[in-house]
Structure 1
Amino acid sequence: QGLALFDTALSQGSAGLVPAPLDLKALQERGRELPALLRGLVRTPVRRTATGVDPAAATTAGAASLADRLRGLPEDDRLPFVQSLVRTQVAAVLGFAGGHAVPLNRSFTNLGFDSLSTFELRNALGTDTGLKLPATLVFDYPEVDSLARYLLGLLLPPAEPGAVLLDQLDALTGTIEALGPDDDPLREAAESRLRTLLATLAPTTVPSGARSGDERIETATADELLDLIDAEFGTL
């Protein structure tokens, strides 16, 4: 055994190696009590319970979907919420004390993830979010922050520009309707600006197939000219 260990040490290229007999089965049985220094040697069973989940990431029976919960939060709180959810699940997979122990921008590989744990994390996040996530999720988004931003984009896709414009117009309508009788100067200023906006929406080119008034007159027959005069001034 000594010679075999010596040969192994020479092939590693590391500066300091310590040969130590370890009972891996006994270490695995210690579960979460296993010291952090030894956790990389064995796979410990992951047990997720309600008491082991951060309050910000906890889901309750009958609660609205995660997307609905995010919509109910101020915009600045949505990303931290999803980051907390991801950190909680990373901590559960790796056996950390809690999500607070998981840095936002440290790669999952450096945290100790392997092939099995990446699938565990993907499955756990799929359950939390209700999304069907790709098998390469952890490789495509290799730290908490980028992964949380990706999930947030799936849960709350950016609104279409057209929808945003219509929502803003609806809000503007409500504001105008709320103007009081003493707001005449404000009404005049608002009307002027609205007329300017309407002018920008007016077509600036002649539609295909349409002719200007001058072109219609130049090419009109006598009967068409009389019809134009009647339409403009009434029947003479």
Structure 2
Amino acid sequence: MSTKLDVIIVGGGRVGFQTAEILDDQGHDVMIVERDDDRCDDIADAYLATVIEGDATNPEILEQAGVDRADVVAALTGETGTNLAVCMAAQELSPKVRTVCRIDRAAGEAYTRFVDAVLFPERAGARVAANEILGSDVQTLADVTGRLDIIQIRVAEGAPAAGKALREIRFPAGTLVISDDDGERIARPDTTLEPGRRYVVAVEPDVADEVMNLLRG
């Protein structure tokens, strides 16, 4: 596994909760900040993350969550303005923290000047959100259309597709591996997905989690 990270997730809804599950399964320390008390109870009952009830746009709540010790703050609520405010407050309190901001697609990439990464997890799923939080192994390169993502993915050791030629891998419909491992050729049926190498993949959001599982495990 990569280096263990301390991650603060703001927003314990579907996206935040599922992202926390993935990070917890990978051994990272996760703290969730959520305003809704019923949701906080559900998260606490799941035993997957420490939960703080409160409004993370309040700097005191971020300090209570340990922003000074955190590696990443991921604002994953359904409100773009809230997420941006949280990320900007986190960077003010802890300039070295990595910030990931869930935004509404209509906002485009306008917020990239304020945060380290933006994402549209309602399209790409919690697994993409988790990999964006972790940093470099999966990177969304472009938001091409209303539904299609183009993602650069590094194949993990032990992943189901690792070491296999494309003709041997049963990718779900809605998936296209675009580049060879050197990035200079279009992938071909005999292209082998080598562990540790990066490939550019076009994927529809409905099958994103399945593709991530094949390439990342």
Question: TM-score band (shorter)?
Answer: under 0.3
When the two structures are superposed, what TM-score results if normalisation uses the length of structure 2?
Answer: 0.23
Q: TM-score, normalised by structure 1?
A: 0.21
Structure with bigger helix share is 1
Bigger Rg over Cα = 1
Structure scoring higher RCO (CA < 8 A, sep ≥ 6) equals 2
